[in-house]
C-alpha cells in the first residue's frame, strides 16, 4: 500500500518569515518554499533574486509550481508532476527534527530530466526514509530548457546553474531553522541532476556550499565550450525565425517558448546535428571556467570533496529503434569514433545482444553518455588520490518493456528506500528486493553522515579500481568496467 502519513501542522521561523509544514511518521515536511523570487517579467531571464521577506505564516503543505510545463514521460520512468504557477524557484525540506539545535546532515537533491524536464515534486524524491535515518532532505526546482540554459547575449549565462547555487545559498542561510547543519551538506542528483552535481564541482561560485557529492548517472553536454552554446543559439534563430535574445523571448507564453524549443531540438535529416544535451550547462568562461569533464579529469575541480558516482548497466538500452540493422550499429559505432579494434571489443563484450541491434545501439549510447565519462572522472580522481567511490547498478528489472535490463532511473527507489512509491512497480516489476534497498540506502546515509559509504565499500583506487556492484547480491569487484575503459578511453587508433 502507498505510504499515507498522519499529519499535523508545525510552524518554523526562517530568515524570510514563518512557514507552516506538516508532521508525518518520520519527521516534518515543508513544501514549496521560495528560495528566489518568481522568474517572471524582468526576472524571466535574469539571475535569481532572493525572495522578499513576509510576515504572515506561509503555508508550506503543498508542492510549489514546477518549471516543467508539460508531461515528459518519455524522458524518464519517474512520475514527475507538472504544477502550474509562477513561483517555480522553490524547494522542499523534509526534516526529522525542525530544531535549530539538531545539527543534522543534509542531502540536497537535484532532479533529472535532460535539463528540459523533471520535477522536485516527484513521489520518488520524498524524504521520509532519509528522515527516519537522521538525514534532512532538500529537493529543489530550477529553470529548464530555454529559460534555464539557452545562451542569450543580453542575459546571464547558465541561469539554471545560478538557480542551483541560489538554492544552496538558501540552504546555507536557512537550513539550521529546520534542524540541518549548513556545514554538513551533500549535493546529489540523477541524470541531468548528476550532471548538475558534476557542474557544481567545477563551478568556483559553488565551492564552500557543500562538503560532499553524489552523481547518479550524471550526464553533461559534450562538447561543452561556449562555441557549442553559441552554435545552438544560432540554430535556434535559424529554425524558429526568432532572435535568441532575452528581449525577443521575454513576452512569449510558455506554450510559445515550448513550441520554439521543439523546433530547435527536432531531428533534421542532413541538417546541423545538435549535441545530445543541447540546452544544458556550458563552459561560459566565467561562472563555469572550463568544460566540466576537463575540469574534473585534468584540473583541480572537486579536489577536496568526497564523491560517490555511478550508473546503471543499461541506461538507455530500452530505447525503441524499429528497423535497425547490424550495419546501422557498426556505422553508429564508427560515428562515435571507434576503430575496428575498439568495435570488436565492444561487440565481443556485448555478444549476448548480437542479434538485437537496438540493444547494442542503446548500450553504445549508455556507454558514451554515462559509463565512460563517469569512469574517466573516477580514474582521474583515483590517480590523484581524491576520495571517490564508484558503483554500477546491475540488478535487472522484470517490468514489461525493461525486462532483463538495469535501466535508467531503476536505482533511485533503492537509494531512497521508497519501493512502495507510486510508479515503482511499473519500472522495477513486482516485489523488488527490500534487502537491496536496505543496503543501498544505508550506504547513502553513511556517506552523507560520515563522508564514506561504510567499511564494506572501499575507495576506488588506481590499482584495484574496486567498484560496488549493486545487484541482488551486492558485492565489490576489482575493475569490472575494464571493457568500457578499453572500448572508449584507452585504445589508440590502429
Q: pLDDT digits over 412-443, tens only?
A: 999 999 999 999 999 999 999 999 999 999 99
Q: Which pLDDT belongs to residue 491?
A: 43
191 noted as active-site residue: yes
Rounded to 10 deg, the angle between the 192-201 and 159-174 helix axes is 70
Name, in order, each residue with C-beta under 8 angstroms of 408's C-beta and a sequence gap of 6 or more: 76, 77, 191, 217, 312, 315, 316, 318
Helices marked H in 99-253? 128-132, 145-149, 159-174, 192-201, 226-240, 246-249
Name, in order, each residue with C-beta under 8 angstroms of 92's C-beta and a sequence gap of 6 or more: 29, 30, 31, 32, 33, 63, 64, 120, 121, 125, 127, 138, 139, 140
| Distance in angstroms (rounded) separating the CA atoms of residues 25 and 6 | 6
Catalytic: which of 22, 147, 315, 466?
315
β-partners of residue 180 are 104
Name, in order, each residue with C-beta under 8 angstroms of 106's C-beta and a sequence gap of 6 or more: 135, 136, 137, 138, 171, 175, 180, 181, 182, 184, 185, 186, 448
Q: Which pLDDT belongs to residue 241?
A: 97
486 noted as active-site residue: no
β-partners of residue 11 are 20
Q: Which is nearest to 45 in space by CA: 203, 243, 317?
A: 243
Catalytic: which of 111, 314, 408, 441?
408
pTM of the model: 0.95
Catalytic: which of 191, 215, 217, 233?
191
Task: Match domain 12-305 to its CATH number in 2.40.30.10, 3.20.190.10, 3.30.365.10, 3.40.50.1820.
Answer: 3.40.50.1820
Q: Is the peptide bond before 223 cis (omega within 30 degrees of 0)?
A: yes
| Distance in angstroms (rounded) separating the CA atoms of residues 111 and 75 | 12
Number of Cβ within 10 Å of residue 288's Cβ equals: 25
pLDDT in tens, the chain (494 residues): 445 545 789 999 999 999 999 999 999 999 999 999 999 999 999 999 999 999 999 999 999 999 999 876 555 689 999 999 999 999 999 999 999 999 999 999 999 999 999 999 999 999 999 999 999 999 999 999 999 999 999 999 999 999 999 999 999 999 999 999 999 999 999 999 999 999 999 999 999 999 999 999 999 999 999 999 999 999 999 999 999 999 999 999 999 999 999 999 988 766 566 777 899 999 999 999 999 999 999 989 999 999 999 999 999 987 767 788 999 999 999 999 999 999 999 999 999 988 999 999 999 999 999 999 999 999 999 999 999 999 999 999 999 888 999 999 999 999 999 999 999 999 999 999 999 999 999 999 999 999 999 999 999 998 999 999 999 999 999 999 999 999 998 543 33
Domain boundaries, the chain: 12-305
Helix (H) / strand (E) element for 9: namely strand 8-13
| Distance in angstroms (rounded) separating the CA atoms of residues 70 and 399 | 25
Grid cell of 203 as nine digits: 563551478
Amino acid at each position: 500500500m502507498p505510504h499515507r502519513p498522519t499529519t499535523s501542522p508545525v510552524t518554523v521561523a526562517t530568515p524570510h518569515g514563518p512557514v507552516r509544514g506538516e508532521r508525518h511518521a518520520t519527521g516534518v515536511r515543508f513544501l514549496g518554499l521560495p528560495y528566489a523570487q518568481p522568474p517572471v517579467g524582468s526576472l524571466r531571464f535574469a539571475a535569481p533574486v532572493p525572495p522578499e521577506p513576509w510576515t504572515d505564516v506561509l503555508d508550506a503543505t503543498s508542492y510549489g509550481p514546477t518549471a516543467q510545463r508539460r508531461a515528459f514521460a518519455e524522458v524518464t520512468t519517474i512520475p514527475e508532476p507538472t504544477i502550474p504557477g509562477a513561483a517555480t524557484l522553490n524547494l522542499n525540506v523534509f526534516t526529522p527534527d525542525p530544531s535549530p539545535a539538531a545539527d543534522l546532515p543534509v542531502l540536497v537533491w537535484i532532479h533529472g530530466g535532460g535539463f528540459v524536464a523533471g520535477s522536485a515534486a516527484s513521489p520518488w524524491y520524498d524524504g521520509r526514509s532519509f528522515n527516519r535515518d537522521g538525514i534532512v532532505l532538500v529537493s529543489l526546482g530550477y529553470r529548464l530548457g530555454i529559460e534555464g540554459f539557452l545562451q542569450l547575449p543580453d542575459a546571464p549565462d547558465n541561469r539554471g546553474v545560478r538557480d542551483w547555487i541560489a538554492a544552496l545559498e538558501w540552504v546555507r542561510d536557512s537550513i539550521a531553522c529546520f534542524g540541518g547543519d549548513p556545514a554538513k551538506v551533500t549535493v546529489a542528483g540523477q541524470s541531468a541532476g548528476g550532471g548538475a552535481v558534476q557542474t557544481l564541482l567545477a563551478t568556483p561560485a559553488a565551492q564552500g556550499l557543500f562538503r560532499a557529492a553524489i552523481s547518479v548517472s550524471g550526464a553533461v553536454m559534450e562538447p561543452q565550450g561556449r562555441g557549442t552554446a553559441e552554435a545552438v543559439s544560432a540554430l535556434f534563430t535559424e529554425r524558429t525565425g526568432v532572435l535568441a535574445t532575452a528581449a525577443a523571448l521575454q513576452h512569449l507564453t510558455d506554450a510559445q517558448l515550448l513550441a520554439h524549443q521543439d523546433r530547435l531540438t527536432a531531428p533534421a535529416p542532413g541538417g546541423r546535428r545538435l549535441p545530445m544535451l543541447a540546452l544544458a550547462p556550458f563552459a561560459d568562461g566565467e561562472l563555469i571556467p572550463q568544460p566540466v569533464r576537463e575540469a574534473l579529469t585534468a584540473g583541480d575541480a572537486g579536489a577536496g570533496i568526497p564523491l560517490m558516482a555511478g550508473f546503471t548497466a543499461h541506461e538507455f538500452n530500452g530505447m525503441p529503434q524499429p528497423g535497425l540493422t547490424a550495419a546501422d550499429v557498426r556505422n553508429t559505432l564508427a560515428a562515435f569514433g571507434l576503430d575496428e579494434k575498439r568495435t570488436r571489443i565492444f561487440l565481443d563484450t556485448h555478444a549476448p545482444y548480437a542479434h538485437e541491434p537496438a540493444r547494442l545501439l542503446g548500450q553504445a549510447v549508455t556507454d558514451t553518455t554515462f559509463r565512460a565519462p563517469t569512469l574517466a572522472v573516477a580514474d582521474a580522481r583515483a590517480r590523484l588520490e581524491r576520495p571517490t567511490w564508484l558503483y554500477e547498478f546491475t540488478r535487472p528489472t522484470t517490468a514489461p518493456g525493461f525486462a532483463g535490463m538495469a535501466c535508467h532511473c531503476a536505482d533511485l527507489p533503492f537509494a531512497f528506500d521508497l519501493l512502495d512509491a507510486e510508479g515503482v512497480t511499473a519500472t522495477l516489476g513486482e516485489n523488488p528486493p527490500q534487502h537491496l534497498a536496505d543496503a543501498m540506502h544505508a550506504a547513502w546515509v553513511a556517506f552523507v553522515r560520515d563522508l564514506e559509504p561504510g567499511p564494506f565499500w572501499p575507495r576506488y583506487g588506481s590499482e584495484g579500481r574496486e567498484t560496488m556492484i549493486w545487484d541482488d547480491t551486492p558485492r565489490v569487484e576489482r575493475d569490472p568496467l575494464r571493457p568500457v575503459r578499453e572500448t572508449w578511453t584507452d585504445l589508440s587508433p590502429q
